Amino acid sequence: MPLAAAPRLLTAFALAIALSACSARYQTPVAVGGDDDDAVCQSRGYAQGSPEYVACRKDRDVQRNAATARADRRQRDLGEYMLNHPERP
């Protein structure tokens, strides 16, 4: 490998690593927030192990799963739209 190509290869490698950090999948949707479920339910005054606490944790799980499903559905719909309408970028 010529010495002149090394900086280009190193730059391309660094750029690839930097861009790969943006491609994380299954992140918690912003609508739900990245809060700790335990801390949120306890801050609402529910004692750990009480029926209200269990209901709070289940409710947060349902909200998170629904937000993830909505995000996946929007992404799928966008992909289908782009396939069906190639004339619009």
Look at residue 41 and tell me if it is in a domain.
no
More reliable by pLDDT, 7 or 56: 56
Look at residue 15 and tell me if it is in a domain.
no
pLDDT of residue 23: 57
Residue 55 DSSP SS3: helix
Look at residue 6 and tell me if it is in a domain.
no
Look at residue 5 and tell me if it is in a domain.
no
Containing structural domain, residue 54: 50-88
HSE at residue 18, side-chain half, CA atoms within 13 A, is 6
pLDDT of residue 11: 80
User: What is the Cα Rg of the chain in Å?
Assistant: 22
pTM: 0.56
Return the percentage of the chain with pLDDT > 90, whole number: 54
Q: Which amino acid is at 84?
A: N
Comparing CA positions, the residue from 71, 68, 43, 70 lying closest to residue 57 is: 43
How many domains is the chain built from?
1
More reliable by pLDDT, 16 or 76: 76
Look at residue 9 and tell me if it is in a domain.
no
Look at residue 75 and tell me if it is in a domain.
yes
Look at the alpha carbons of 87, 80, 21, 68 in this order and tell me if their dihedral is positive or negative: positive
Q: 17: pLDDT confidence band, cut at 50, 70 and 90?
A: confident
